[in-house]
Amino acid sequence: MVSPIRWAVSKIYGSETDPPVVAEVERASYAEQIVSRLRHFENQVLPPSARVDPTLSQRVAPPFRLSNLLVWGVAIAKKSTELAGEVFVHQVWGPRKPSWGIEMTVITTIMRGAGKYSEIASLGMLRGILNVLGYVPIPSNAMVTPVTFRVPKRKLRGFLAECSSAEDGTRELAGEWVVGRHLWRRLQAEWRASRGEIRKNSVASIKSHSMDHKDRVILYIHGGAYFMFSAATHRIMTIQLSKHLNARLFAIDYRLAPETRFPGQLIDVVSAYMRLLEDLHIPPENIIVAGDSAGGALTLALLLYLRDNKYPLPSGAIVMSPWADLTMSCDSWDSNEAYDIIPRPTPGDHLHPILCYLGDEGIEKYLTHPYVSPLFGDFTGIPPLLIQCGDSEVLRDEITLLAHKATRAGVKVRHEIYEDCVHVFQTFPFLEASRRAFLSCRDFVKRVLPAQQRRSPQSLDDVAIAGLEAEMDNEKTRTVAADGQEEVSQNKDLPSLVDDDPAEDEDEDDNVSIASSSSATLHDDTGERSPIPKHPAGTERYLSRLSLRTTHLTSPSTPTTPTSTTTFIPRNHYRRASGTGFTPLSATALTMSPCLAPAPKPIVRTRATSHPDIHSLCADWAERGPANETTLYSPHAVSNSRGNV
């Protein structure tokens, strides 16, 4: 951790502390350097960079003592002093990241190093504090309907067959339907029209309004390190997704760890998907799965499980900062530790999320299982992916390799990195990058999916429409207003689409176009077109920050996934595109510019059985660049046409 005093001194004397620089290893060839680091993959053992020891046992939570109050007092005093120092440095010399406002400085300072105080915290207390997020004011109106349903005996195939056979049809799961205000009005008007409750001339206008609309349904899987949060705490994201995608959204409340270990969470997610598919008769072409952090990993695990067992796949997936590698093998856990909001867990701690999720036995058995760490799976046959992450988050590198590996398997991948942004930055509505990310989600659904998915969204049949209406339009429906307050909605009193001008609810950026990822040229400050360099300046410096740790561990058993037969020619696109207006947290107006840029090389902790040619894949990445195109959204004005990172 970089102290405020050291940070201030660096501002005065110009020492480089952003980002922390890893000691350079002199080699004759950078490509040879990368390849030499990956030799351990040939022996099918844990990589030396792994930070999770599968032989560790989880400690029992210590009992509460009165002395804990004193420790809490000391901790609060230390954190308050640190916060005051950071705010002072922010105001005098500037923030740790150029585009950060005071809000991000405060948030990151509070979260930084929080893992050091886990011994005096309990899981119940932690959940209670974080669940307050469920009462944070929501930025836009929406309708929320809580739902509880029984999990039937579905006789799931493959990996979940044994656990599924234990279901007796009495277990219940909860979730909630989230619908943006404008879509809710349209749906309600359609339901009223179908029941003959409004005049005929209005019915015609409603039908004509609905003709262009394809009914998509989003299955949202919330994050929270597998042991925190809920659908309610993530309304700040689910409402935005429903609004921008103009779609119904179902957020599932899967069972949390450590009360439920893996694969319980995966069973719940699969059950939620099957309920949409089989019980509510929603065509798979109409379903989009989305998730953040641990929910992003569950989203990928869901896709792998459905593919492995020949279940119908959804049309696409949106993953935000997915936790794809539970071995924590990548260097960004070190280089971004001083900036991200995710504290590094203490080995063996009672609040260690991986131990809570897998347990002492499961961590040895499943740590590299593709359904636990999706990075180690084969992505052949997976639907199109939108992958978003922050440049300053600890998961950045593993997400980079996730995009590269999925592209190598033939998946259509849209990989976006948002400069200066932290883990799941979409939860911060005051960030312009958050708004931009949701606009990109809209663009992905409107433009990418229609061109990539094999079948277009289908019209919902009468059974599906009736089922959705029964679930969403009832006495349990709540209005979540701009102030975050809920109140029971009387459906008959809700304004319908025919009573309102729909334009007032449309997003002002509905026609914003996201920069195309297929362009092969860029514009410099003079307006002239410049060719893309094969090895853009700054790439080696950016990649050289990625290094391996030297702790050697034993290898757990790892199941296999189908091997990929798809080949993909890597390319190293690097393009600056015209930017849109970006207003950072500070008062200074900057420019947010999307560009296609090479991402840093993460170090995977996979086995040869999980990917048939991991050594060649990584060597190819080092020599010719990533297979996928990475779009970097920068809040800084573009001053170099070659887009140095």
Residues with active-site annotation: 293
Closest CA to 415 of 427, 398, 434: 398
Task: For 29-76, give the DSSP string.
Answer: -HHHHHHHHTGGGGGTS--TT----TT--PPPPPPP-THHHHHHHHHH
Compute CA distances 188 → 194, 207, 218, 572, whole Å.
10, 12, 19, 48
Task: For 278-327, give the DSSP string.
Answer: IIS---GGGEEEEEETHHHHHHHHHHHHHHHTTPPPPSEEEEES----TT
Q: Are 191 and 469 in contact (CB under 8 A)?
A: yes
Kindly state the tokens that stand for 351: 């609040």
Q: How far apart are CA 555 and CA 362, in angstroms?
A: 13
Q: How far apart are CA 378 and CA 562, in angstroms?
A: 6
Compute CA distances 465 → 185, 188, 279, 355, 590, whole Å.
15, 12, 12, 42, 46
282: left (phi over 0), alpha (psi -120 to 50) or beta: beta
Q: How far apart are CA 135 and CA 215, in angstroms?
A: 30
Q: How far apart are CA 270 and CA 596, in angstroms?
A: 35
Helix (H) / strand (E) containing 438:
helix 432-443
Please give the backbone phi and psi of residue 612, each rounded to the nearest 5 degrees, phi first. -70, -20
**For residues 449-472, b (16+ Cβ closer than 10 Å) or e, as one string?**
beeebeeebeebeeebbebbbebb
The distance between the two most distant Cα atoms of the chain, rounded to a whole number of Å, is 79
| 640 three-class SS | coil
Q: How far apart are CA 405 and CA 413, in angstroms?
A: 10
Q: How far apart are CA 384 and CA 278, in angstroms?
A: 23
Closest CA to 239 of 225, 251, 229: 251
Beta partners for 417?
Answer: 389, 632
Q: How far apart are CA 32 and CA 439, in angstroms?
A: 40
Task: For 167-206, give the DSSP string.
Answer: --S--EEEEEEEEEHHHHHHHHHHHHHHTT-S-HHHHHHH
Q: How far is CA 157 from the centre of its chain?
A: 27
Q: How far apart are CA 490 and CA 478, in angstroms?
A: 9
Kindly state the tokens that stand for 268: 């719940």
| 386 three-class SS | strand
Residue 377 has what DSSP assignment? S
What are the helix (H) ranges across 473-586?
A: 539-543
